[in-house]
Structure 1
Amino acid sequence: MSDVIWDIMKEHLDEAEFLVETWSNCVDSPKFSYAKLRAGPEERLLAHLEGLRIGGPSVVQRLLLPALSELDDDEFRSAAVCLAILHGAGVEACEQLLASFDQAEAVGHRGLVRGFSLSQRDGLVPWLGRDLDRLGPQVLASRLRIFAAHRVNAGQQLIAWLGAEDLNLQRAAAQLARHTGAPSALRLLHPMMQHEDDALRWAAIESGLIRGQMPAWLAVPREAFSRGRWQREALGWLAMLGDASVHQRLLAALRDTPTPALVWAAGLSGRPAAVDLALELLEEPRLARLAGEVVCAVAGLRDDEPDHWLDRGVRVGEAPEDGLPPLDRDDLDQAVIQSGDDKLRLPNPDALRFWWAQRRGQFDPQLRYSNGAALDLPALARSLAVVPTRRRHPLALELAARSTGRAQIATWALMGAQHRQIQDVFARLAFADFQRGLGLSVGS
C-alpha cells in the first residue's frame, strides 16, 4: 500500500478511538436519544471500522496487531483496536487478540473488555466460552463480564463461579446471574446480598431484583437509606418497584432533606406528586437541573423548548451557576457529548410552573407516568425510543424486573444491537404491570 493509504488507515484507527470514547459518553447523556446516537457517533464509528476492514489483512498485520503490545495505558485505544480486529480480521488475528486479552492488565484490559462487550461479531460468545476451565480467576471474571454484556444465560455453570474463592470472580458471576432463571444458582445470591464487599453485595442485589428474588427487595432499603456507595441506585429501585406508600416515603424524605439521589428517585417514581415537589426545587442551585429533569421524565416536558430553559447544560470548566454561556463560546459539539447531572439544562422556574399548572389536572395522582403517558408496556417502549440515553437505563432495568428477567435490553450495547433486542422483547412480551408495587416492612 502507498504511504497515503497508510495515513488514511491510521486516521481511521485514530477516529475509531475518538468515537468509542464519544459513544461511551453519549450512551449515558442527557443530550442524546437512541436515534441521535445511532445516526451520529455510532454510524461514524462503524464507518471507520469498515474502512479498516476494507484495508485487508495487511492493515491487520501491520497496524492493528502491533498495537496490541501498546495498549496498557489507553482504554479507548484498546477498545478501538479490539473492535477493529473483531469487525474484519480472520480467525488467526482474533486468536492473537484473545491471547493479548488474557495477558493484558489494568487500563488496557478494561479497554479490551469494552471492545469485546460492544462487538457484534457472529460466533463471539461461543468462541469466548470454549476454554473457560483453563482460565485463571481474573481472566475468567473478565470473560463473565463480557458474557453479561451479551446477556448470556450461563445456567448451572454459575454455581461453581458464585462459589469461587476469588472475590472478583464472584462479583462477575453475581452480575451475570441476572441472565439466568436457574433457581439453584439464584439461591446462592441470597447470602451475597449481605456481603461486606460493596460491589459483590450490590451485584447480587440487583441481579436478585431482576429475577424476582424477595431477599433482594428486602435488602434494598438498607442500601437506600445508609448513604453508602449504591444509595442512588437503591433509591431508584425503591422508586421503580415500590408501591404508593414507598413513593410517599421517598417524597417525604425529599421534602425534608433534598439530595440529588432523592430527586433522581422522584423522577423514577413516575408520580405527579414528584413533579409538584420538583417545582419547589427549581431555585436550588444544586438541585435545579435534576428537578427540571423530573418534569421531563414524569410529565413529558420537552428539553428542546428554549422558553423553558436558561442554558444548554454546564461545560467542562464551568460551574453550574454560570448559566447561559455567551453565544461566541457556545460550542455545541463539546456540549452534546457530556454526561452527568450538571449537563442537564437549567430550567426556567416560572415557565415550568406555568407549563405544569396548565396540565396538572390531566394526571391521575394514583398512577405512574413516563414521559407524559400512564406507564404501561407501550408507554415504556415509546419512552425508550425518545428519552435521553441516561434515562433509558432505569427504564430497561424496570422492564427486566417487571418481567422477572424475561425481557432484558442491554442499554449499554451498540444501538444497532439494541434495536434487535427491542424488537425481540416486544414481540414476545405482551403485558407487564408497571402500576402495582411492593411495600416495605415496618422498620425498613
Structure 2
Amino acid sequence: MHELDDEPLWDVLEEHLDEAEFLWESWEQSLVAPNYTLEEVASGVESRLYAHLDGLVIGDAPAAERLLVPALESDEPTRVSAAAAALLLGPVDSALDTLFTVLQDLPEQRPALVRAFACTDHAGLLPRLRATLSDVDEALVAAAAEALVFRHEPLGEALSVLLASDDPAARCLGLQALPGEPEAAGQVRAIQAGLADDDPGVVDAAIAAGLVLAPAPTWTRVRARAEEPGGAFAMLLLALRDQAGDRAALLAALADAARRPAAIYALGHVGAPDLVDACLEWLEDAEAGPLVGEMMQALTGIDLDDAGVTATVEEEALEHTPEHDLPRPDPLPTMQWWLRQRSRFEDGQRYLQGEPRARAEVVEALTSGPMRRRSALLLDLQLRAPRGVLLRLQTRAPTARQQRELVELRRLLGAG
C-alpha cells in the first residue's frame, strides 16, 4: 500500500508537461507582443508557466526519467525547452549530463535546448557551457556561445573561432558578443569585415556592434543598408538617429510597397505628428494599417481600442507574428479621431506616449510600455549613452532578470 501511495500521479504530471509546452510558446509570444507589458507578462503567462514547471520539479527523478528525458526528443521545440527547463530547475543530479548529451547527439534539438539554457538558472550550467567552448565541434561551440552571450558572459578565445567561421550564423554570434567582451575596443577590424560581409545578417550584426565600438564607419554602412532588401534594422536606426536627411530617406521608402511596412514601423519611433500625417493614406492597407495605428498609439499614448476606432477582423494566419496582435484601425473613424488629436501636437517636436520625447520618457516606456517596442527603445537609449557605456537588457529573458537589469540600466543613465 505504501508503494502505491508513493507512486506519482502520472496524469497530473503529464498535464503539467502539456501545459508547460503550451505556455512556453505563449510566453515567447508575449515577450514581443504589442498588447503586453512587462508586469503583465510576469503576473500572467510567465507565472502560469513556472507553476507548471514547478509541478514537474516536484515529480523528482521518476518524472524526469519517464516524462522529461523522453520529451527532449520531441518534434515540438517548446516541449523540448519546457522539459529542459524543468530538468535544470529540478534536483536530479544527472540533469546536466543528460542535457549536454542531447545537445551533442541531436543537432536538431539544439535551438530549443539553447533557449532553455539561456533562460534557466542552474549552479553547474555556466561552467559546463564554458567548457563546451573548447569543443572541437564548431556547431557545439556556437550553441554554448549563444546561451552565454544571452547571459552577457564573455566568450574568451572562442570569440575568434566564431568570427573566422565559414558559417554566417556563427559570425553573427561573434559580432553580437563583441561589445560585451573585455578587449572589445581592439576588435574594430572584425566589425569592418562584418560591415563588408556578403551575408545581410552578418552586416546587421556588425552594424549593431559598430554602433557601440566604431560609430563612424558604421553609420556610413547603415545609410546604404537601409536601401537594400531586408534593411529594416538599418531603417529603424535612421529613425532613432533622426538627423538631417534621415526622415527624407524613410519617407521615400513609403513609395516602395515591399519596404513600406518597415518604413512605417521605423517612422513610428520618431514620434513626429507630421510623419503620422504622411502615413494616413495607408490606413486601409491590411499590412500597413495596423502599423500606422501603432504609430498613433505610441505618439498619443491613447489605445485605439479604448478610443473606439478599431475594426474586428477575423483571419487565420499560418504563423503568428507580433503584428497580428496589433489593433486594426477602422480607416475613416481613425482618421477623424487623429484629426481631433492633431492640434495637441506641434510640428518639430517628438513625442512618446503623449509627452515630449526625452530620456526619462524612453526609460519609462522601456519599463512599462508594450513589449513589442522595447528592443527599439533600448537601442534608442544606447545610441545616446555616453561613449563606452554598454546598456544591457535582454528583452526576451525571464521578467525577474529583466527587472534586475532595468535597475542597473537606470543607475547607469542616472534615471533613478
What's the TM-score once normalised by structure 1's chain length?
A: 0.83
The alpha-carbon deviation at position 426 of structure 1 amounts to 0.7
The alpha-carbon deviation at position 124 of structure 1 amounts to 3.4
Residue 282 and residue 131 in structure 1: after superposition, are their counterparts in 2 closer, same or farther (change >3 A)? Answer: closer
Q: Is the 8 A contact 2:223 2:234 kept in 1?
A: yes
From 36, 43, 46, give the equivalent of 1:42: 46
> Is 1:236 matched with 2:240?
no
Residue 139 (structure 1) aligns with: 140
CA distance in 1, matches of 2:356, 2:95: 51
CA distance in 2, matches of 1:343, 1:131: 39
Q: Is the 8 A contact 1:254 1:262 kept in 2?
A: yes
My pick for the range that moved more, 56-65 or 92-101, is 56-65
Residue 89 and residue 192 in structure 1: after superposition, are their counterparts in 2 closer, same or farther (change >3 A)? Answer: same
CA distance in 2, matches of 1:168, 1:288: 33
Residue 23 and residue 371 in structure 1: after superposition, are their counterparts in 2 closer, same or farther (change >3 A)? Answer: same
Q: Is the 8 A contact 2:81 2:116 kept in 1?
A: yes
Residue 273 (structure 1) aligns with: 274
CA distance in 1, matches of 2:350, 2:185: 31
From 377, 383, 391, give the equivalent of 1:407: 391
Aligned letter for 1:374? P
Q: Is the 8 A contact 2:204 2:233 kept in 1?
A: no
Give the alignment of 1:20-35 within 5 angstroms: 20-35=24-39
The alpha-carbon deviation at position 179 of structure 1 amounts to 2.6
The alpha-carbon deviation at position 43 of structure 1 amounts to 0.5
Q: Is the 8 A contact 1:75 1:111 kept in 2?
A: yes
Residue 195 (structure 1) aligns with: 197
The alpha-carbon deviation at position 3 of structure 1 amounts to 5.9
> Is 1:225 matched with 2:227?
yes
> Is 1:343 matched with 2:332?
no
Q: Is the 8 A contact 2:82 2:116 kept in 1?
A: yes
Residue 315 and residue 210 in structure 1: after superposition, are their counterparts in 2 closer, same or farther (change >3 A)? Answer: farther
Aligned letter for 2:406? I
Residue 407 (structure 2) aligns with: 423
CA distance in 2, matches of 1:423, 1:314: 40
Residue 57 (structure 2) aligns with: 53
Aligned letter for 1:294? M
CA distance in 2, matches of 1:363, 1:153: 45
> Is 1:260 matched with 2:261?
yes
The alpha-carbon deviation at position 239 of structure 1 amounts to 0.8
Any idea what SS the aligned residue of 2:94 has?
helix
From 373, 385, 397, give the equivalent of 1:391: 373
The alpha-carbon deviation at position 256 of structure 1 amounts to 7.6
Residue 141 and residue 397 in structure 1: after superposition, are their counterparts in 2 closer, same or farther (change >3 A)? Answer: same
Any idea what SS the aligned residue of 1:411 has?
coil
Q: Is the 8 A contact 2:103 2:110 kept in 1?
A: yes
My pick for the range that moved more, 16-25 or 278-287, is 278-287
How many residues are aligned here? 407
Residue 256 and residue 114 in structure 1: after superposition, are their counterparts in 2 closer, same or farther (change >3 A)? Answer: closer
Q: What fraction of aligned residue pairs are identical, expressed as a percent?
A: 29
Q: Is the 8 A contact 1:239 1:265 kept in 2?
A: yes
Aligned letter for 2:409? V
Residue 151 (structure 1) aligns with: 152
Residue 408 and residue 401 in structure 1: after superposition, are their counterparts in 2 closer, same or farther (change >3 A)? Answer: farther
Residue 322 (structure 1) aligns with: none
Residue 7 (structure 1) aligns with: 11
CA distance in 1, matches of 2:189, 2:384: 19
Residue 360 (structure 1) aligns with: 342
Q: Is the 8 A contact 2:31 2:372 kept in 1?
A: yes
Q: Is the 8 A contact 1:60 1:89 kept in 2?
A: no
Q: Deviations over 1:111-166 (max 9, x none)?
A: 11111122133563343113421241111111121122212244675344323455
Report the RMSD for the aligned CA atoms in angstroms.
Answer: 2.6
My pick for the range that moved more, 387-396 or 127-136, is 127-136
Residue 417 and residue 391 in structure 1: after superposition, are their counterparts in 2 closer, same or farther (change >3 A)? Answer: same
From 207, 212, 215, give the equivalent of 1:213: 215
Aligned letter for 2:147? I
My pick for the range that moved more, 30-39 or 166-175, is 166-175
CA distance in 2, matches of 1:204, 1:249: 22
From 68, 78, 81, give the equivalent of 2:80: 78
CA distance in 2, matches of 1:290, 1:167: 31
Residue 301 (structure 1) aligns with: 302
Residue 248 (structure 2) aligns with: 248
Structure 2 residues without counterparts, runs of 5 or longer = none
Aligned letter for 1:425? L
Q: Is the 8 A contact 2:188 2:214 kept in 1?
A: no
Any idea what SS the aligned residue of 2:44 has?
helix
What's the TM-score once normalised by structure 2's chain length?
A: 0.88
Residue 398 and residue 155 in structure 1: after superposition, are their counterparts in 2 closer, same or farther (change >3 A)? Answer: farther
The alpha-carbon deviation at position 292 of structure 1 amounts to 0.8
Could you say which structure has the greater relative contact order, defined with CA pairs below 8 angstroms and 6 or more residues apart? 1
Aligned letter for 2:53? L
Aligned letter for 2:247? H
Aligned letter for 1:200? V
Any idea what SS the aligned residue of 1:269 has?
coil
Residue 212 and residue 103 in structure 1: after superposition, are their counterparts in 2 closer, same or farther (change >3 A)? Answer: same
Any idea what SS the aligned residue of 1:30 has?
coil
